[in-house]
């Protein structure tokens, strides 16, 4: 294989990639494929690893990839903090400014979105990077592939040193044996991602863009100002997180007139979504189910399965832009900016999602 030279590297000699995603969209596999790509098809040395929490599906996932000259040993295994390329697998993740952490003006940012770069820049106040967009979800649905392969194709094009053939080969190797029936669709997804990724023209000073500078918000409390014995409810704490982007198109819909206030949903929900308050039911004073804090609902639908009287039913989120019985938890400390209305505005209820489930265990 012909040895390849990277067009750009950092001071340590690495070209670095970070993928920002949520569990279930395939960023982990995408990162592994990119890592292998460097070694097997590009004549480079490479390394990749992912970071995710205990519950993988629906929770934030990051994947990190490093490329360098094949003669150089990779002795650094820490997360990528200043990426040359950033892949964002779900547009709503941009609602959290930390997703863009470490990006410079020259960082290439590839976003899975049907919106144009211009719209995204205004909507999320993006002030860094070169913005590329690709409607990966839509392409995945049409080609019966997955978001991760479409993003892989798009990112390969943007990187500029990865030929389409090499991506196809790595896809055949990764998926061909395991899912031979899905291979043609995935190759088509890669091709369309490669061809349809679009760059937003460079911004100039005349652009009237609302800029939100990342990292300039002054926290009310920090380690120096927090009261002794107090907790910081913001950083690293899921209590203040809006997990709406984790939902994949479905929500539990509450029908209060059926509810018998048994509390099974509350015991089952892993995310403290249900809001019980003192009240009266059938003449008895008891805790009453008043609604759901959808900010914390990741859409697993376990509550729907346990409800004995179908007071919670399976709903398609797109049909409920204003969610009835949406009751934010009043007891939790929060700042309004934690809850920008990012929402789950992408819905993976497509054939591709069903195909994926079939492939992974025959749920459908």
Spatial contact of 110 and 88, defined as CB atoms under 8 Å apart: yes
Region of 24-32, 211-219, 265-273, 342-350 interacting with ligand SF4 (CB under 6 A): 265-273
- Of 73 and 257, nearer to ligand SF4 (C-beta) is 257
Taking the least distance from each CB to ligand SF4, the nearer of 234 and 262 is 262
CA distances from 107 to 49, 127, 214 (A): 20, 11, 14
The nearer residue to ligand SF4, 211 or 287, going by C-beta atoms, is: 287
Nearest to 200 by CA among 290, 270, 89, 122: 122
**CB of 240 closer than 8 Å to CB of 334:** yes
Distance CA 111, CA 134 (A): 6
Size of interface with ligand SF4, in residues (CB under 6 A): 26
Q: Shortest gap between Cβ of 301 and ligand SF4 (angstroms)?
A: 5
Q: Does 311 bind ligand SF4 (CB under 6 A)?
A: yes
Q: Should residue 264 be labelled a site residue for ligand SF4 when binding is judged by CB under 6 A?
A: yes
Give the tokens for residue 105. Answer: 């003006």
- Joined tokens for residue 337: 């900016």
Q: Which are the contacts of 251, defined by CB distance < 8 A and separation ≥ 6? A: 294, 297, 299, 315, 316, 317, 320, 323
Interacting residue with ligand SF4 among 68, 158, 265, 344 (CB under 6 A) = 265
Residue 42 or residue 253: which is nearer to ligand SF4 going by CB?
A: 253
Hey, what are 343's tokens? 């929402």
CB of 1 to ligand SF4, least distance (A): 47
- 113 vs 244, beta carbon nearer ligand SF4: 244
Between 42 and 312, CB nearer to ligand SF4: 312
Instruction: Single out the segment in contact with ligand SF4 by CB under 6 A; choices: 71-79, 113-121, 138-146, 260-268.
Output: 260-268
Q: Whole-number minimum distance, CB 96 to ligand SF4, in Å?
A: 19
Instruction: By CB under 6 A, name the one of 312, 352, 355, 356 that touches ligand SF4.
Output: 312
Supply the minimum distance, in Å, between the C-beta of residue 277 and ligand SF4.
12
Shortest separation between residue 354's beta carbon and ligand SF4, angstroms: 19
Structure tokens at 128: 């860094």
In contact, 265 and 305? CB cutoff 8 Å: no
**Among residues 266, 361, 297, which one has the least CA distance to residue 58?**
297
**260: contact with ligand SF4 by CB under 6 A:** yes
Phi, psi of 162 (to 5 degrees): -115, 110
Find the part of the chain contacting ligand SF4 (CB under 6 A) among 78-86, 116-124, 211-219, 263-271: 263-271
14 vs 295, beta carbon nearer ligand SF4: 295
- Cα gap 316→81, rounded to integer Å: 37
Contact 108, 129 (CB under 8 A): yes
Judged by CB under 6 A, the chain residues 230 through 259 that form the site for ligand SF4 are 252, 259
Query: Residue 136 or 297: which CB sits closer to ligand SF4?
Result: 297
DSSP 280-316: EETTEEEEEEEEE-GGG-----HHHHH-TTSSEEEEE
| Cβ proximity to ligand SF4, 70 vs 339, nearer residue | 339
- Contact flag: residue 327 with ligand SF4 (CB under 6 A): no
> What's the CA gap between 193 and 139, in Å, rounded?
8
Tell me if 42 contacts ligand SF4 by CB under 6 A.
no
Q: How far apart are CA 180 and CA 183, in angstroms?
A: 5
Positions 271 through 310 that interact with ligand SF4 (CB under 6 A): 271, 273, 289, 292, 297-303, 306-307, 309
In the complex, the residues that contact ligand SF4 under the rule CB under 6 A are: 252, 259-265, 268-269, 271, 273, 289, 292, 297-303, 306-307, 309, 311-312
């Amino acid at each position: 294989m012909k040895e390849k030279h990277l067009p750009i590297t950092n001071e340590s000699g690495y070209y670095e990639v970070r993928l920002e995603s949520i569990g279930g969209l395939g960023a982990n596999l995408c990162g592994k494929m990119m890592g292998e790509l460097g070694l097997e098809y590009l004549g480079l040395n490479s390394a990749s690893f992912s970071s995710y929490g205990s519950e993988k599906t629906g929770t934030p996932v990051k994947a990190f990839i490093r490329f360098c000259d094949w003669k150089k040993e990779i002795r650094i295994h820490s997360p990528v903090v200043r990426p040359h390329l950033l892949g964002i697998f779900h547009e709503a993740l941009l609602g959290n400014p930390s997703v863009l952490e470490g990006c410079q003006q020259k960082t290439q940012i590839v976003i899975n979105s049907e919106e144009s770069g211009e719209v995204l820049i205004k909507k999320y106040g993006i002030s860094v990077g070169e913005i590329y967009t690709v409607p990966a979800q839509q392409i995945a649905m049409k080609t019966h592939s997955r978001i991760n392969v479409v993003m892989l194709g798009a990112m390969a094009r943007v990187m500029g040193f990865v030929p389409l053939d090499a991506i196809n080969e790595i896809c055949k190797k990764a998926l061909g044996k395991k899912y031979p029936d899905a291979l043609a669709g995935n190759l088509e997804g890669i091709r369309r991602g490669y061809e349809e990724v679009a760059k937003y023209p460079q911004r100039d000073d005349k652009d009237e863009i609302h800029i939100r500078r990342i990292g300039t918000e002054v926290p009310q409390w920090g380690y120096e100002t927090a009261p002794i014995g107090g907790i910081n409810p913001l950083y690293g704490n899921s209590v203040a997180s809006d997990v709406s982007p984790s939902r994949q198109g479905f929500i539990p819909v509450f029908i209060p007139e059926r509810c018998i206030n048994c509390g099974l949903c509350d015991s089952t929900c892993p995310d403290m979504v249900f809001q019980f308050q003192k009240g009266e039911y059938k003449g008895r004073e008891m805790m009453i189910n008043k609604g759901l804090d959808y900010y914390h609902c990741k859409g697993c639908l376990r509550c729907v399965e346990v409800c004995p009287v179908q007071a919670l039913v399976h709903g398609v989120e797109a049909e409920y832009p204003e969610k009835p019985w949406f009751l934010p938890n009043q007891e939790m400390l929060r700042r309004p900016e934690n809850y920008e209305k990012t929402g789950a505005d992408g819905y993976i209820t497509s054939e591709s999602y069903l195909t994926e489930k079939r492939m992974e265990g025959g749920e459908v």
